[in-house]
């Protein structure tokens, strides 16, 4: 089970790293935030599961902890998605024709 978590965490960290780079932020910093949120949410899910189930059902505890850990990834991902994109990338997308006023033919159509 631990190997599956490590593999999932590596891919999810890469995903958040690419998203952070697209936003113009430090990918390494946000990968570490993802790992910290993963571990914190997993611990919280484990403690909640222990309070709910006790120590009887270890499979239910590990499943609840894994689902909670994925919630930690989703939290960091949502924070990244709310941030604005890199301004430099938007400026490079503007073409010369976008800066000119519309032609007379284009104004007549509207």
pTM of the model: 0.74
Q: What is the pLDDT of residues 50-84, one digit of tens each?
A: 998 888 888 889 889 999 999 999 999 999 999 88
HEC readout, 65-78:
HHHHHHHHHHHHHH
pLDDT recorded at residue 94: 62
Cβ neighbours, 10 Å, residue 3: 7
Q: Choose among 14, 11, 12: nearest CA to 22.
A: 14
Spell out the residues 6+ positions from residue 90 whose beta carbon is closer than 8 angstroms to its own: none
pLDDT recorded at residue 7: 93
| Measured distance CA(43)–CA(54) in Å, rounded | 15
Where exactly are the structural domains of the chain?
2-109
């Amino acid at each position: 089970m631990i190997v599956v978590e490590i593999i999932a965490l590596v891919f999810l960290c890469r995903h958040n790293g690419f998203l952070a780079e697209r936003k113009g932020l430090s990918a390494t910093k946000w990968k570490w935030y993802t790992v910290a949120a993963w571990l914190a949410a997993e611990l919280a899910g484990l403690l909640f599961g222990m309070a709910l189930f006790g120590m009887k059902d270890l499979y239910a505890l590990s499943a609840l902890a894994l689902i909670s850990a994925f919630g930690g990834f989703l939290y960091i991902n949502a924070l990244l998605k709310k941030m604005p994109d890199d301004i430099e990338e938007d400026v490079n997308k503007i073409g010369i024709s976008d800066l000119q006023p519309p032609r007379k033919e284009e104004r007549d159509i509207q």
